[in-house]
């Protein structure tokens, strides 16, 4: 048993957690990943499913995670174990904590490569490497930047180093300060880009692409991608939000904080879409251009606007900062676990994690040059890290979390910790027990090809299933508890 005599660190100001959690949530997921996935999966239908997943799955899961962190007072592994054993459940539920630590680590391994792109584009903008090129030439710049492993490796190594230095110093003060000016700055840059798009054409088409929700039916893969992205963009089931929650003062309201983070995160993603797609359409580029999408399209806009290199530099500074406030949150779980359980100091924990991370991220970086052919089932190592975390580890971890929170804990634990009024608590419970799990399960069933068997492709059935689940669940849950109880 770890003894934690020392009181755990807490966020400084009243806004500390809100800022830090927003810093973790808003990142490359919003500005880089959301637009290119929307492009790949055809626009509005993807956006709609994504928004539903944020509200119906993301928000309830985030509330549960923060509550686990604050009540469990530790890294995800310790928090899950304490929560479970505190209600007379098996300590084996800490497996959910292990899964989330693994997910955070795997995500960071490819995240530093993308953050490296952002850093290198900042450098290119400042040194004039992006000026005066045509659309094709700018695409070639992106390819060339990737083709040389020494160049790309330099940038991802730099990101790894900076991340570990910050984490080693202790995150509280640094994050709280930087998010406070970085977040408004990023939003301002997006406003500039949206304004440019609105004036220079392509805006109407972009708007229609993002918000005409009936653009044909979404594929199973697209639904899973939208679900996975809701977890990714809110930093869920990856140890980040839970560990940050463990530094949250008892007095803060979990419900309000969660809504604030989810709202800010969603707004930044939609703004990024509105900033990027006008450029894509006005220049006849392919919306399904893949991971390089923003790096190929935005420089085109910066080139055409007045003071473009200034705005470009500011934009890439903000994006790099946003990436860093996310990347540090991904290792926080591992570092906090090493400190609490293995006697590491913060600094030694950060450096040890950093070395392992550097090895894996270097392998991920090679996926863009010498390792481009090292594929399994058509996916590179980089693709696999992304695919396994977003599509499988995070949704399954979220499902587990919400199952523990909704069914396994003693009756009043979540009610006390969430501190909601009776109506809102009932709403949360309904979401956590039935709506969110049903959403996750339906999407998994669909991907496994079972959806049509189970639901005959008719959405109204789902309502019936939901009602049935509620009936059975509410009648059964005391028995379910007994069946799962330890001897």
Is 171 an interacting residue with respect to ligand PHE (CB under 6 A)? no
Cα–Cα distance measured from residue 264 to residue 269, given in angstroms and rounded to the nearest whole number = 9
Is 330 an interacting residue with respect to ligand PHE (CB under 6 A)? yes
Tokens at residue 351, please?
């450096």
**Least spacing, CB of residue 189 vs ligand PHE, in Å:** 16
**Least spacing, CB of residue 202 vs ligand PHE, in Å:** 25
Q: Hunting for tokens 């069933």 — which residue is that? A: 445
Q: Using the minimum distance from each CB to ligand PHE, give the nearer residue, 271 or 285.
A: 271
Q: Using the minimum distance from each CB to ligand PHE, give the nearer residue, 231 or 358.
A: 231
Contact pattern for ligand PHE over residues 30 through 69, marking x by CB under 6 A: x---------------------------------------
Name the segment binding ligand PHE (CB under 6 A); options: 26-34, 75-83, 126-134, 359-367: 26-34
Cα–Cα distance measured from residue 109 to residue 363, given in angstroms and rounded to the nearest whole number = 9
Q: Using the minimum distance from each CB to ligand PHE, give the nearer residue, 27 or 168.
A: 27
DSSP H or E stretch at residue 189: helix 171-200
Cα–Cα distance measured from residue 239 to residue 337, given in angstroms and rounded to the nearest whole number = 10
Chosen residue from 20, 141, 240, 301 binding ligand PHE by CB under 6 A? 240
Is 104 an interacting residue with respect to ligand PHE (CB under 6 A)? yes
Looking at the DSSP assignment, which residues form a beta bridge with residue 376?
A: 379
Name the segment binding ligand PHE (CB under 6 A); options: 228-236, 338-346, 399-407, 411-419: 228-236
DSSP H or E stretch at residue 267: helix 254-282
Chosen residue from 238, 280, 366, 442 binding ligand PHE by CB under 6 A? 238
- Write the burial class of residue 473 (CB in 10 Å: 0-12 exposed, 13-18 middle, 19+ buried): middle
- Write the burial class of residue 345 (CB in 10 Å: 0-12 exposed, 13-18 middle, 19+ buried): exposed
Cα–Cα distance measured from residue 371 to residue 360, given in angstroms and rounded to the nearest whole number = 13
Site size toward ligand PHE (CB under 6 A) is: 16
- Write the burial class of residue 117 (CB in 10 Å: 0-12 exposed, 13-18 middle, 19+ buried): buried
Q: Hunting for tokens 């490296």 — which residue is that? A: 116
**Least spacing, CB of residue 206 vs ligand PHE, in Å:** 21
Chosen residue from 29, 72, 168, 299 binding ligand PHE by CB under 6 A? 29
Residues 468-487 that bind ligand PHE (CB under 6 A): none
Is 401 an interacting residue with respect to ligand PHE (CB under 6 A)? no
Q: Using the minimum distance from each CB to ligand PHE, give the nearer residue, 99 or 429.
A: 99
Tokens at residue 193, please?
């880009």
Chosen residue from 172, 233, 334, 380 binding ligand PHE by CB under 6 A? 233
Give 211-217 contacts, CB < 8 A, sequence gap 24+. 211/44, 211/47, 212/43, 212/44, 213/44, 213/45, 213/47, 213/48, 214/44, 214/45, 215/42, 215/43, 215/44, 215/45, 216/42, 216/45, 217/45
**Least spacing, CB of residue 29 vs ligand PHE, in Å:** 2
Is 385 an interacting residue with respect to ligand PHE (CB under 6 A)? no
Is 406 an interacting residue with respect to ligand PHE (CB under 6 A)? no
Q: Which residue is nearest to ligand PHE (CB)?
A: 29
Name the segment binding ligand PHE (CB under 6 A); options: 88-96, 116-124, 151-159, 322-330: 322-330
> What are the Cα distances from residue 351, in Å, to 114, 147, 322, 359?
21, 29, 22, 13
Is 197 an interacting residue with respect to ligand PHE (CB under 6 A)? no
Is 203 an interacting residue with respect to ligand PHE (CB under 6 A)? no
What phi and psi values does residue 376 have, to the nearest 5 degrees? -130, 125
Q: Hunting for tokens 């523990």 — which residue is that? A: 404
Name the segment binding ligand PHE (CB under 6 A); options: 11-19, 65-73, 193-201, 325-333: 325-333
Q: Using the minimum distance from each CB to ligand PHE, give the nearer residue, 112 or 223.
A: 112
DSSP category for residue 305? S
Is 235 an interacting residue with respect to ligand PHE (CB under 6 A)? yes
Furthest CA-CA distance within the chain: 72
Cα–Cα distance measured from residue 85 to residue 96, given in angstroms and rounded to the nearest whole number = 14
Cα–Cα distance measured from residue 228 to residue 58, given in angstroms and rounded to the nearest whole number = 10
Looking at the DSSP assignment, which residues form a beta bridge with residue 379?
A: 376
Is 329 an interacting residue with respect to ligand PHE (CB under 6 A)? yes
Name the segment binding ligand PHE (CB under 6 A); options: 244-252, 326-334, 360-368, 400-408: 326-334
Name the segment binding ligand PHE (CB under 6 A); options: 11-19, 24-32, 42-50, 250-258: 24-32
**Least spacing, CB of residue 177 vs ligand PHE, in Å:** 19
Name the segment binding ligand PHE (CB under 6 A); options: 25-33, 78-86, 273-281, 435-443: 25-33
**Least spacing, CB of residue 432 vs ligand PHE, in Å:** 20
Is 120 an interacting residue with respect to ligand PHE (CB under 6 A)? no
**Which stretches of the chain bind ligand PHE, using CB under 6 A?**
24-25, 27-30, 104, 107, 232-233, 235, 238, 240, 326, 329-330
């Amino acid at each position: 048993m770890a003894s934690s005599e020392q009181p755990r660190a807490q966020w400084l100001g009243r806004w500390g957690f809100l800022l830090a959690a927003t810093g973790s949530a808003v990142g490359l997921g919003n500005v880089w990943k959301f637009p290119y996935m929307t492009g790949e999966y055809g626009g509005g239908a993807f956006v709609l499913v994504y928004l539903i997943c944020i509200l119906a799955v993301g928000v309830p899961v985030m509330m549960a995670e923060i509550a686990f962190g604050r009540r469990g007072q530790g890294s995800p592994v310790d928090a899950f174990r304490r929560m479970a054993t505190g209600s007379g459940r098996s300590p084996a539920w800490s497996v959910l904590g292990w899964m989330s630590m693994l997910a955070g680590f795997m995500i960071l391994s490819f995240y530093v490569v993308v953050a490296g792109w952002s850093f290198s584009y900042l450098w290119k903008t400042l040194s004039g490497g992006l000026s005066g090129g045509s659309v094709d030439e700018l695409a070639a710049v992106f390819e060339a930047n990737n083709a040389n492993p020494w160049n790309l490796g330099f940038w991802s190594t730099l990101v790894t180093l900076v991340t570990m230095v910050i984490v080693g110093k202790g995150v509280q003060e640094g994050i709280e300060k930087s998010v406070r000016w970085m977040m408004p700055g990023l939003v301002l840059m997006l406003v500039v880009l949206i304004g440019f798009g609105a004036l220079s054409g392509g805006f109407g088409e972009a708007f229609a692409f993002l918000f005409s929700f009936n653009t044909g039916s979404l594929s199973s893969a697209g639904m899973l991608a939208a679900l996975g992205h809701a977890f990714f963009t809110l930093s869920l089931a990856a140890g980040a939000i839970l560990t940050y929650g463990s530094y949250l003062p008892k007095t803060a309201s979990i419900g309000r904080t969660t809504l604030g983070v989810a709202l800010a995160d969603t707004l930044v993603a939609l703004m990024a879409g509105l900033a990027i797609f006008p450029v894509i359409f006005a220049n006849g580029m392919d919306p399904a251009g893949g991971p390089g999408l923003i790096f190929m399209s935005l420089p085109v806009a910066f080139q055409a606007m007045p003071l473009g290199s200034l705005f470009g530099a500011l934009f890439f500074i903000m994006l790099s900062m946003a990436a860093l406030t996310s990347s540090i949150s991904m290792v926080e779980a591992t570092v906090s676990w090493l400190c609490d359980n293995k006697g590491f100091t913060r600094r030694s924990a950060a450096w040890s994690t950093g070395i392992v991370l550097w090895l894996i991220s270097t392998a991920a970086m090679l996926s863009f040059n010498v390792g481009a052919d090292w594929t399994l089932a058509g996916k590179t190592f980089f693709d696999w890290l992304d695919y396994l975390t977003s599509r499988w580890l995070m949704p399954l971890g979220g499902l587990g979390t919400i199952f523990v929170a909704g069914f396994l804990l003693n009756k009043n634990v979540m009610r006390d910790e969430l501190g909601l009024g009776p109506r809102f608590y009932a709403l949360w419970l309904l979401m956590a027990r039935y709506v969110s799990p049903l959403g996750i399960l339906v999407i998994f069933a669909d991907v496994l090809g079972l959806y049509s068997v189970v639901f005959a492709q008719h959405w109204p059935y789902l309502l019936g299933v939901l009602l049935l689940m509620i009936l059975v669940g509410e009648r059964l849950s005391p028995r379910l508890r007994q069946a799962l109880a330890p001897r």
